[in-house]
């Protein structure tokens, strides 16, 4: 292992999350903001992106590109988190405090990815 174990953990996490887009696409379609077109296609596209970025972060030749891709993806996902906060249907019955907590968690995930640029 060339990198710290937690970088590989991050890669595995995004890969599994991406695979989940294909296993349970309805969950992701439900939380898509209405201004985003082609919900199902976007769910599959984001799943592919997560899988590719999750794998790419584990290789030195693609690691930094993958990190920037993960950060960009997480920034785009803010729209989903805010939509879930504003729409009871999209909130999937989750308590408001959990939906609010996801916002700072998103910043933490961005920092976690950014951290690995130094390796």
Query: pLDDT for 2-57, tens place per residue?
Result: 899 999 999 999 999 999 999 999 999 999 999 999 999 999 999 999 999 999 99
Q: How far apart are CA 105 and CA 119, in angstroms?
A: 23
- Alpha carbon distance 31, 28 (integer Å): 5
Residue 37's domain spans which residues?
5-118
Number of domains into which the chain is organized: 1
- In the block, tokens 């907590």 appear at 101
Which pLDDT score is estimated for 65? 98
- Percent of the chain exceeding pLDDT 90 equals 90
pLDDT category at 1 given cuts 50, 70, 90 is low
């Amino acid at each position: 292992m060339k990198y710290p174990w937690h970088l590989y953990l991050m890669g595995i996490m995004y890969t599994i999350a991406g695979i989940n887009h294909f296993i349970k696409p309805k969950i992701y379609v439900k939380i898509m903001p209405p201004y985003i077109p082609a919900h199902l296609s976007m769910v599959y596209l984001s799943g592919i992106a997560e899988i590719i970025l999750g794998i790419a972060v584990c290789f030195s030749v693609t690691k930094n590109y993958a990190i920037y891709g993960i950060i960009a993806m997480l920034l785009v996902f803010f729209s989903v988190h805010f939509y879930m906060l504003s729409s009871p249907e999209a909130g999937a019955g989750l308590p408001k405090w959990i939906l609010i907590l996801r916002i700072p968690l998103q910043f933490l995930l961005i920092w976690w990815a950014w951290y690995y640029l130094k390796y």
